[in-house]
Amino acid sequence: MSAIPVADDVLDAEVGVLTLGEVADIIGQSENKVRQMLRDGHLIAVRRDGQLVVPAEFLGKNGVIKGLPGTITVLSDSGYNRTEMLRWLYSEDESLPGVTPINALRTNHGTEVKRRAQAMAF
């Protein structure tokens, strides 16, 4: 089994995080499924206080927010590592609805977020 890729914790301290067990409960899957989602690039985890955690904003009431896995794939294909992806997702951009890419994804502006992620590759 391959190791779970982990980003450096570049998140502000006030960004809420969830343990893998909490993520599993929210999405109604096993913790092993959450680990597979991390390996497959559908989520990004950081290590905080010795525990693997996922930003709470990555999840909505129906599971992983729409557009996040695709955005992670686009960024990965563009050569970004997990830490750079996380930093970009939480970077302020006043021209985006929601001000940050993660907030824009949460408000159903995934197409615009992915368009910007693709443009960064060039």
What is the model's pTM?
0.91
Tell me how far apart the alpha carbons of residues 79 and 61 are, in angstroms, rounded to a whole number: 31
Domain boundaries defined on the chain: 6-119
pLDDT in tens, the chain (122 residues): 568 999 999 999 999 999 999 999 999 999 999 999 999 999 999 999 999 999 999 999 889 999 999 999 999 999 999 999 999 999 998 888 778 999 999 998 888 898 888 887 65
For 31-89, give the secondary structure using H, E and C. Answer: HHHHHHHHHCCCCCEEEECCEEEEEHHHEECCEECCCHHHHHHHHHHCCCCHHHHHHHH
